[in-house]
């Protein structure tokens, strides 16, 4: 069965899209740990990030770097933090989280933001990409 992220890639379920190229997609995490929390994925489904082919992994990281730079420009934060977890969705992904303190990167504390706010954050990052 396709992962929920493959269903997003296929357009079968919606997302708040931030950036895209032919091989990668970035969209807002539906339950962000901080406003602007973004997921960066390869469009090709593979379960575990560190099982990726070297070139595909490097290409994903370079795409994530460009997304992080856009987040830095678009969002009021000191840093964009990067994390890899992968316990919930079996489709490789990188978390990019705008932070001001170490405590902002707390995956046990998730938010649910109004749709209009998610749309406006995604548009702000997309405009800087
Ligand atoms: P993990 O696999 O542990 O790295 O966590 C997966 C992340 O994906 C969690 O932070 C979820 O909130 C997020 N997530 C799950 N389903 C969706 C979805 N349909 N759209 C956006 N984010 C999602």
User: Per-residue pLDDT tens for 99-121?
Assistant: 999 999 999 999 999 999 999 99
pLDDT (tens digit, 9 = 90+) per residue, 34-57? 999 999 999 999 999 999 999 999
Residues with CB under 6 A from ligand 1: 4, 15, 29-31, 39, 85-89
Count the Cβ atoms, other than its own, within 10 Å of residue 85.
11
pTM: 0.98
Strands (DSSP E) along 1-127, which ranges? 17-20, 24-28, 38-42, 79-83, 94-99
Ligand 1 centroid from CA 14, angstroms: 13
Ligand 1 centroid from CA 53, angstroms: 23
At 2, is the pLDDT very low, low, confident or very high (cuts 50, 70, 90)? confident
- Tell me: pLDDT of 96 over 90: yes
Q: Does domain 4-128 have CATH number 3.40.50.150?
A: no
Domain map of the chain by residue range?
Answer: 4-128
- In angstroms, the CA 48 to CA 75 distance is 29
């Amino acid at each position: 069965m396709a992962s929920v992220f493959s269903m997003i890639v296929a357009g079968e379920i919606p997302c708040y899209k931030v950036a895209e190229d032919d091989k990668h997609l970035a969209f807002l995490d539906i339950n962000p740990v901080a406003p602007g929390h973004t997921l960066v994925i390869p469009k090709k489904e593979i379960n575990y990030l560190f099982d990726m082919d070297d070139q595909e992994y490097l290409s994903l990281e370079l795409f994530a770097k460009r997304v992080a730079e856009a987040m830095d420009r678009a969002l009021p934060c000191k840093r964009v933090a990067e994390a890899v977890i992968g316990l919930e969705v079996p489709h490789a992904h990188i978390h990019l989280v705008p932070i001001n303190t170490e405590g902002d990167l707390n995956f046990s504390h998730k938010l649910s933001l109004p749709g209009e706010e998610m749309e406006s954050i995604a548009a702000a990052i997309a405009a800087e990409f």
